[in-house]
Amino acid sequence: MDYFAHESAFIDQGCVIGAGTKIWHFSHIMSNCTIGEKCNIGQNVVISPEVILGKNVKIQNNVSIYTGVICEDNVFLGPSMVFTNVINPRSSVNRKSEYSKTVVREGASIGANATIVCGHDIGKFAFIGAGAVVTKTVKDYALVVGNPARQIGWMSEFGERLEFDSEGIANCKESGDVYELKNQEVSKR
């Protein structure tokens, strides 16, 4: 094994787990998951069948990731956040054939206790505030908060809030990287 799994963790058959990944106490990785290199899966995490995680994904304690979710490289999932995979669940109705896909793009961060309603992708380097309830697709670099979540600004790849000048240019104070806001889309120059 090129990865670490605590003795209390369960890993079902058919999983592919990358080198350097750590799986902590009481976590359950269900069948046929793909987990990239150097991921950190916290305590009491459930990863449902066929979930795909890229490299260096950080999952904090008590997170549920349901079938239909894909997290690209360098995604951060805060404590007790949750994904859904069915829009209209009922205990007595089997909707496994209706799972909706959700993609969390590279570098995105999702805060503690946030909920991502299925079928709504999270853009690259987006920042979802703690407790937010995401009910629509989130743009690249967007900062969203609240219930329902609404966009209140933009974030750099380093997690710093961007302040755009009158020409639509912003500098990340931490990295010095330059960003451009054009037609309500942000790109790194």
* Same-domain status, 128 and 149: yes
Residues 132, 182: one domain? no
**pLDDT given at position 1:** 82
Q: Give the pLDDT confidence score for residue 21 in this predicted structure.
A: 98
SS3 for 97?
helix
The answer to the question of residue 129 being in a domain is yes
Q: Kindly state whether residue 92 falls inside one of the protein's structural domains.
A: no
Residue range 95-119: average pLDDT? 96
Q: Which tokens sit at 126?
A: 């987006």
Looking at residue 131, its pLDDT comes to: 98
| 166 shares a domain with 132 | no
The count of domains in the chain is 2
Considering the domain architecture, whether residues 181 and 140 belong to the same structural domain is answered as no
- What pLDDT sits at residue 102? 98
Q: Which residues of 98-124 are buried (b: 16+ CB within 10 A; e: fewer)?
A: ebbebbbbbbbbbbbbbbbbbbbbbbb
**Predicted TM-score (pTM) of this structure:** 0.96
The domain spanning residue 103 has which CATH number? 2.160.10.10
Residues 163-183: tens digit of each pLDDT:
999 999 999 999 999 999 999
CA angle centred on 117, ends 105 and 95, rounded to 5°: 110
Q: 81 and 56 in one domain?
A: yes
Same domain, 121 and 177: no
Average pLDDT, stretch 151-166?
A: 98
Is the same domain home to 167 and 141? Answer: no
| pLDDT tens digit sequence for 2-47 | 999 999 999 999 999 999 999 999 999 999 999 999 999 999 999 9
The domain in which residue 187 lies consists of 162-189
Do 104 and 186 have their domain in common? Answer: no
Q: Which pLDDT band, with edges at 50, 70 and 90, does 157 fall under?
A: very high
Portion of the chain with pLDDT greater than 70, in percent: 100
In the chain, where does DSSP find H-type helix?
none
Q: How confident is the model at residue 187 (pLDDT cuts 50, 70, 90)?
A: very high
Q: Examine the domain organization and report whether 148 and 170 are in the same domain.
A: no
Q: Are residues 81 and 107 in the same domain?
A: yes
